[in-house]
Copies of this chain bind each other. A is one copy, B any other.
């Protein structure tokens, strides 16, 4: 029977039983981790051929004869730009290849806007305050970057179609200090939703008081479907096309990486943006570096080859990840049938499930789970400044543990949700 319909005595009895159950769980001395979107070992194994596609000097030459072992080629190998283009929904000419992480590129783009402005605009640091739109739930590492610069972060609700566009349009319309928005537009981190075409078009066309407003389009999960059938895959409208059509060709910077395609932190990352933006970014990039790691670029080209090669490879990831996401949904559905006030997402791609616990219980759930040996992403981390006003959002990252460990971790999680909710209902 639903908790909400139980009498106080019944709740007390249930609470006592849950305390025993929780004690049993703790006694298992588990050490499980559902905190970060890390691929599992068998996913990493899929990229084993990457390790040996280059073993001799003859393997080290690019299509145009460039010896990738030596200095040069600031923007990345032409074939690496071509490889990344479909992940960025763009033309290879608009692609710049960076280092081993798209996060660094995002940090750079904001640093340069902050310090030097954008295409000749006033440096953002010269304003009395700078503001940034942060759809919530969102990605904590995005928020860390804007927080680092003292940029005021404005949370806007993220629905199933993307951010609340009425709210976004209102905020950007009149305040030129609002300089950008963080977006994970496809299989969003953490809710797994994908922006609707209408959302993309409204972002591209909305009147902004700031002519240098920037959409930070972190398409981290562009090719990270859980299902092979195209009808079960989310489709995302290209923000670049939408911005050009709306007459705002420089409004966006797209980011992608192979971190969850090949090896996290040992892959390649790229940007796609307008030629004007690319020139502006390159003027800074050339001061701080001579080139990205072309050897690793070439490895990725030789291993993944092209869009078709990427899709085939991602299908193997999906075969490993899909059962984990399905297990999350099954265990939560079964375990929380009587517990009111819990919702969660069923994404068709990406790395996360967003769990909404009964208001005021998220921190307690995460603490209980930790005490029982299951590490979850910190409660609140999906909000700017770590401040979830409802204390409700918990990001579940099911990718890392093997299936049987994930099942154990979810049992613990369900137990902790129940216990925390009972504590709340009893005012304990």
- Listed in ascending order, the chain A residues whose CB lies under 8 Å from chain B are 36, 38-39, 41, 44-45, 47-48, 51-52, 54-57, 59-60, 67-72, 99-101, 103-104, 107-108, 111, 114-115, 125, 141, 144-145, 148-149, 259, 263-266, 284, 287-296
Chain B residues with Cβ below 8 Å from A52 are 52, 55
Cβ contact within 8 Å between B70 and A44: yes
A54 in contact with B57 given A71-B38, A287-B148 (CB within 8 Å):
no
Neighbour of A265 across the interface among B54, B149, B266, B291, CB < 8 A: B291
What residue of chain B has the Cβ atom nearest to residue A40's Cβ?
B70
Contacts A/B (CB < 8 Å), 14 sampled = A38-B70, A44-B67, A69-B264, A69-B266, A99-B100, A100-B292, A107-B288, A108-B288, A115-B115, A141-B290, A265-B291, A265-B294, A293-B293, A293-B296
**In the assembly, how many copies of this chain are there?**
2
Cβ contact within 8 Å between B51 and A56: yes
A287 in contact with B145 given A67-B44, A70-B44 (CB within 8 Å):
yes
In angstroms, how far is the closest chain B Cβ from the Cβ of A175? 23
Chain B residues with Cβ below 8 Å from A103 are 288-290
Neighbour of A294 across the interface among B57, B259, B266, B291, CB < 8 A: B266
In angstroms, how far is the closest chain B Cβ from the Cβ of A414? 27
Cβ contact within 8 Å between A266 and B68: yes
A48 in contact with B44 given A266-B293, A294-B265 (CB within 8 Å):
no
Q: With A and B bound together, what is the CA distance between A108 and B296 in angstroms?
A: 22
Q: With A and B bound together, what is the CA distance between A394 and B82 in angstroms?
A: 39
Chain B residues with Cβ below 8 Å from A114 are 115
Q: With A and B bound together, what is the CA distance between A69 and B289 in angstroms?
A: 25
Cβ contact within 8 Å between B44 and A51: no
Q: With A and B bound together, what is the CA distance between A149 and B125 in angstroms?
A: 14
What residue of chain B has the Cβ atom nearest to residue A149's Cβ?
B115
Among A54, A72, A111, A293, the one with the most B-chain Cβ atoms within 10 Å of its Cβ is A293
What residue of chain B has the Cβ atom nearest to residue A52's Cβ?
B55
Q: With A and B bound together, what is the CA distance between A52 and B58 in angstroms?
A: 13
Q: With A and B bound together, what is the CA distance between A93 and B36 in angstroms?
A: 27
Chain B residues with Cβ below 8 Å from A290 are 101, 103, 141, 264-265
Q: With A and B bound together, what is the CA distance between A296 and B104 in angstroms?
A: 18
